[in-house]
């Protein structure tokens, strides 16, 4: 994983922006609208997933953002700009029952894209930090900041 010393400009500022973005993502998944949409169990799994990546230090070198209910990681300086590469995590679930409160969780759909080309795409049955995802996080963290 890129260390802070690998950053070429305004190291503390970029690292601070990256770290702040992860805190905002946790607030996003803990918020009432997402908890109602995803359900408590799935929202908790997403918070645990984000926290596990933070604990590994990826919040220091990657920006976290969201698109609808998806978690999107990039090396972008600016919020809302994916740039040339990103890693997207989309929790997969089915909704059933009349009030749509009951959900069946199927897993996590993962996409790693570089220069408009999908490099990796797979679904894993658990929403957790696996060695396969860690490999993609490492690859993304080696991309230049843009």
pLDDT category at 5 given cuts 50, 70, 90 is very low
CA separation for the pair 10, 99 (Å, rounded): 49
Residue 78 in domain = yes
In the structure, what pLDDT confidence band is assigned to residue 7 with cuts at 50, 70 and 90? very low
Residue 2 lies in a domain: no
Give burial (CB, 10 Å; 0-12/13-18/19+) of 131. Answer: exposed
Whether 3 maps to a domain, the answer reads: no
Is 116 domain-assigned? yes
Establish if 100 belongs to a structural domain.
yes
Asked if the model's pLDDT at residue 1 lies above 70, the reply is: no
User: Could you tell me which residue, 29 or 101, shows the higher pLDDT?
Assistant: 29
In a domain, 35, yes or no: yes
Whether residue 36 lies inside any domain: the answer is yes
Q: What is the pTM of this model?
A: 0.84
What's the pLDDT score for residue 142?
95
Q: Which pair of tokens denotes residue 111?
A: 């996409």
- Residue 104, pLDDT score: 72
What pLDDT is recorded for position 10?
A: 56
Are 120 and 69 spatial neighbours (Cβ–Cβ below 8 Å)? no
Note down the domain range covering 31.
10-141
**CB distance 41 to 54 below 8 Å:** no
Convert the pLDDT of each residue in 94-144 to its tens digit.
665 555 566 677 799 999 999 889 999 999 999 999 999 999 999 999 999
Cβ contact 89:140 at 8 Å: no
- Tokens 């040339």 correspond to 84
Is residue 73 a contact partner of residue 63, using CB atoms and an 8 Å limit? yes
Query: What total of structural domains would you count in the chain?
Result: 1
pLDDT band at 37 (very low <50, low <70, confident <90, very high): confident
């Amino acid at each position: 994983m890129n260390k802070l010393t690998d950053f070429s400009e305004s190291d503390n500022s970029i690292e601070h922006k990256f770290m702040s973005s992860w805190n905002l993502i946790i607030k996003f998944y803990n918020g009432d609208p997402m908890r109602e949409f995803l359900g408590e169990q799935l929202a908790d799994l997403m918070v645990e997933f984000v926290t596990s990546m933070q604990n590994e230090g990826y919040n220091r070198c990657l920006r976290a953002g969201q698109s609808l209910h998806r978690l999107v990681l990039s090396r972008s300086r600016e919020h809302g700009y994916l740039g040339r590469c990103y890693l997207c995590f989309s929790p997969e679930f089915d909704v059933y029952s009349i009030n749509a409160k009951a959900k069946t969780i199927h897993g996590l759909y993962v996409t790693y894209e570089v220069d408009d080309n999908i490099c990796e795409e797979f679904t894993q049955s658990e929403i957790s930090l696996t060695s396969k995802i860690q490999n993609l996080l490492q690859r993304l963290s080696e991309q230049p900041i843009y």
